[in-house]
Amino acid sequence: MRVSVIIAACNAEAYIAEAVGSVLGQTAPPDEVIVIDDGSTDGTAKVLGQFGDCITVLAQPNSGQAVAVNKALAIAQGELIGFCDADDLWTPRKLELQLAVLDRRRDIDAVFGKVEQFVSPDVPDAQRERLKPAVAIMSGELKQCMLIRRAALERAGPFDESLPATFFIAWLGRAKQRGLRSAHVDDIVVRRRLHLGNGGRTHTDAQNRETLLALHKAIKVRRRPE
């Protein structure tokens, strides 16, 4: 089955090359990599241009990650969909391990895995201690950890573009309500980079508001009559 990988990038020139390289360097390489440049004003476009025909790059005015991801999904050709954040790294065997599960378990819609959090080497020494994670390795259902069958992704509907920071949390809740069947591999599949510009760190108040809104929407869906 064809695998499409989607990356949304905004002002990611410092890390996007490593992120894309970790996807292209898989032991089971994807069939296509789509990067949406979400209105970057730094050198992101120039960095992406170095990959040539190895990736597909689309640009849009700054509209948020949810809009970018939905735009990429509209043109993706794969029966399986993966996501990588522009500042994170896939471990080399991520796709190999997850493809094996989906091939063996036809009853499974999506496969997740473990995440290793690390402080980016470029963070100044004076700031490193406060960025150090309480838990270095964790199991979680994060977008960048997931490989999912496209049919299951579409069954849950598009990502909510009114929730640019928490759209995946809202989508995952909706997907589970609609019967998403998932499995986990007991391996680290993503290395999550911690740095001074992490979205969750710089937009905490907005993310908290969005989380409450996402929960409110989920409650309304549960109460909706069949």
pLDDT digits (tens, 9 = 90+) for 137-155: 998 899 999 999 999 999 9
Q: Which residue has the tokens 């680290």?
A: 188
* Residue 27: per-residue pLDDT: 98
Q: Whole-model pTM?
A: 0.88
pLDDT at 192 over 90: yes
pLDDT, average across residues 102-119? 97
**Which structure tokens are listed for 188?**
């680290």
Q: State the Cα–Cα distance between residues 213 and 12, nearest whole angstrom.
A: 28
* Residue 94: per-residue pLDDT: 98
